[in-house]
Amino acid sequence: MKLNIKGYAIFLLLFLPLLSFCCVKHVFAGNAGSVVINEIMWTGTSASSADEWVELFNSTDDDVDLTGWGLYSIDGSPEVSLEGSIKAGGYYLLERSDDQTVSDIAANVIYTGALDNHGEFLRLEDGEGNVIDEIDASLGWFGGDNLNKKSMERIDPGVSGSLSFNWCTNNGMAINGLDADGNFLLATPLLENSCCLTAPTPSLIPTMPKVSPTLKSTPVPTPTPTLTSTPSPTPSPTLPPPMAIAIGAPGEIEIGKEFEVSVSVAGGESGSVYFVKGMLGSDSGGTKLYDGRTLGADGESWLAWNAAWEKMPVFKTDAEGEGSMVVKMKTDEDVQIGVNYIKVRLREIDGGKNLDSNVETITVLKSGVASFPSPTVKPTPTPTPEGEKEKELVFTFGLPSEISAGKPFEIPVALCGADPYADYYAKVMMGQEDSGQMYDGQTLGGDGDSWLSWNAAWDKMPTLSADDSGCGLVVAKAKIDEDAVSGEYRVLIRLRRLGAAENIDSEIRTICVISNEIFKQTGGEVLGAMRSLPQTGVSLPRFQLFGHHRR
C-alpha cells in the first residue's frame, strides 16, 4: 500500500499535540486546604506503641507535587520532609521508624520522632513555608483510643482540623492494614475514614480508592445488615482537661546562691512521673532562659538548662493527677544583674513534649546584697482583714475549647505565692455579655452534690488550700445552664480567700457552647449543629494556660 506522506504529516501536526495533552497527567503545587492531615495513629499499634503513622489526603482533582513540603510539630518532634506527589483524591502515608509500621502497605516516606500522647500542634507546609493545613491538638488529641489502639480520623477535609468536632475515633469495623505482628489495624490507612461525612451511603465500609499496584490492601470486614452509620463523636467534655502548672519563686535572689521554687500541678494523668528543671534568664519572652541551674536528682550536681533530662529531679502525680514539690535552683555567675524571668519545665519520663509553667519575674542581686530569712510556717493563717488587699498570687488554669449546654466539665486550677495553709473559695463564671454580667454558669459546690449559681454564698463553694509552700491545686467542676443558646461564651475563675472581701479573677477567655436544642435537632450531628448556627462562623481556639488579674 502506498503511504500518503502528506496526509500522515498533516495528521501528526493536528492531532499529536492533542494526544500529548490528553495523555500527560499534570502535577500542580498545592494551595491551603488542598492537602490535609487526614488520619493520625498517635497511639501506636498492638505490635508496638512506637509504631505511629500519619496519613495525608488530597481533596483536589489534580495531583499535587510534595517536593520540599514538610510536616512539623511546633515542639520540634516530629519534623518530616516529604517527597514525590500525592494523586488527585488519593492518600499519602508517613510511617515512623520503618516500613513495618503498616506491614502490608508501603509507606510514601519514613520518618523519626514520636508523637506526644497528650497531643500535638501539627502543621503541613509547602516548600515556601506556606501553611497548607494544621491541627492544634496541643491540649489533647481529638480522637483515638490508646487502650484499644484505634486511630484518630478526620470527618470532613473541608472543615478546619483544629476543631475537635471534626475528628472521631475509628469505629472498629471499617478497617484496613496490618501491624508489624500481622494484627488488623483499627484504622483506615489508604481508605476513606470510618466516620467520613462524605461517604455516599450509610454503610460503614467506604469504597476502596485506587492505589498503586505495589500496595497490598487488606480485606475489609463486612458489617451485618443491621448496622447503621457511625454516630457523631461525643463533644470534648469527655476528654481529660488540660494540665495546669504553677510556680512560686522568691522576689529577690543573690547571684550564685541556692534558692527554692515551689511547683504545683493539677489536671495531670494519674500516677505520671515527670522530670523537672528550672529555667532562668533575661529573656522577657520567657523562651531563652539559659542562666539558671537545677540541683540534680543526685542531690549534688548543679545542672544547666540543657543537661540530660534523666539527670534532673523527678516527681509523681497522685491518683487525682495532682502533685507538688520544691525545686532547688541557683544562677550562673555571669547572669544579668537586675530583673530576670523564671519558669519550670516538665517532661514525662517516657518522652513527649515539654510542659512549661507560668513565667515569673525575679530580681538577681549582687553577692552580699540580699538576705533571706528562714520562712515561718503558719499552720493556722490569720484571715486578711476587711478592706486589706490580698498578696499577689500566681494563678493558672486549663480550659476545654467547647462544651454542651448542661453537661459538666472540669477545669484544673493551680496557684502559688499564697500564705502557707491559706484557703480560698473558687467559683466558675460564664456568660455572653462583655459587661461582666457572667451569670450563666454553675459550679459544683463543696458538698459534691449541689450545683451553685454565680451568686450563691461563698461558703458553699469548693475550696482550694495552699500547702506549707504556699501552693495549692484543685479541679473545679462546672457546667453552663441547660437553656444556654449556641455560641461563644466568656469564662473566668474567681477566687476569694476565706475571711477576705476582695475577689481575685482570672483573665476572661472564650469557650464554644452547643445548645441542647441544636444538639437534639441534629441527632447528635455536631458538625451539622455548628453549620446551622445563625452567625457566619464560630471560632473555636484551643487555649493554653493563663494567669490572673484583680477585679
CATH class of 394-550: mainly beta
CA distance 84 to 66: 6
From the CB of residue 485, how many other CB atoms can be counted at a distance below 10 Å?
A: 17
Q: Given this model, what pLDDT does residue 511 score?
A: 83
In this prediction the pTM is 0.37
The pLDDT assigned to 439 comes to 85
**Alpha-carbon span 79 to 113, nearest angstrom:** 7
Residue 413: exposure state from Cβ atoms within 10 A (0-12, 13-18, ≥19)? buried
Phi-psi label, residue 506: left if phi above 0, alpha if psi -120 to 50, beta otherwise: beta
Q: What is the model's pLDDT at position 174?
A: 84
Cα–Cα dist 394/405, whole Å: 30
Q: How far apart are the C-alpha atoms of 155 and 152, rounded to whole Å?
A: 10
Beta bridge partners of 529: none
At the topology level, CATH places domain 251-365 in Immunoglobulin-like (2.60.40)
Phi, psi dihedrals of residue 526, rounded to the nearest 5°: -65, -40
Whether 447 and 459 have beta carbons less than 8 Å apart is answered as no
Cβ-proximal residues to 208 (8 Å cutoff; 6+ apart), any chain: 191, 217, 220
Residues carrying CATH 2.60.40.1260, the chain: 24-233
> Could you list the pLDDT tens digit for every one of the 551 residues in the chain?
444 444 444 444 444 344 333 333 344 555 777 899 999 999 999 999 999 999 999 999 899 999 999 999 988 889 999 999 999 999 999 999 999 999 999 999 999 999 999 999 999 999 888 999 999 998 899 999 998 899 999 998 888 999 888 899 998 888 899 999 999 999 999 999 987 643 333 333 333 333 333 444 445 454 544 444 444 444 433 334 457 888 878 888 999 999 998 888 877 788 888 899 999 999 887 788 999 999 998 889 999 988 888 899 988 888 877 888 889 999 999 999 989 999 999 988 876 678 888 888 899 998 875 444 433 333 444 444 444 444 567 777 777 767 888 889 888 887 777 888 889 999 998 888 554 578 888 999 999 899 999 888 999 999 988 887 778 878 889 999 888 888 888 888 899 999 888 888 887 778 888 887 766 665 554 433 343 333 323 332 222 333 333 33
Q: Cis before residue 209, ω within 30 degrees of 0? A: no
C-alpha cell, 35: 492537602
Instruction: Judge contact between 162 and 138, C-beta under 8 A.
Output: no
Phi, psi for residue 14 in degrees, rounded to 5: -80, -40
Dump the DSSP string for 111-151. E--PPPTT--EEEEE-TTS-EEEEEE-TT--SS-BTTTTB-
Evaluate whether 399 touches 508 at the Cβ level (below 8 Å).
no
Q: Is 10 helix (H, G, I), strand (E, B) or coil?
A: helix
428, 493 Cβ separation under 8 angstroms: yes
**What is the C-alpha separation between 520 and 514, in angstroms, rounded?**
10
Instruction: Give the Å distances, CA to CA, from 511 to 34, 174, 238, 397, 474.
Output: 29, 33, 15, 14, 20
By the 8 A CB rule, do 35 and 124 touch? Answer: yes
- The values of phi and psi at residue 265, to 5°, are -130, 135
| Pairing status of strand 323-331 against strand 302-303 | unpaired
Portions of the chain given CATH number 2.60.40.10: 251-365, 394-550
Distance in angstroms (rounded) separating the CA atoms of residues 379 and 453: 32
Q: Domain 24-233: what homologous superfamily?
A: Lamin Tail domain (2.60.40.1260)
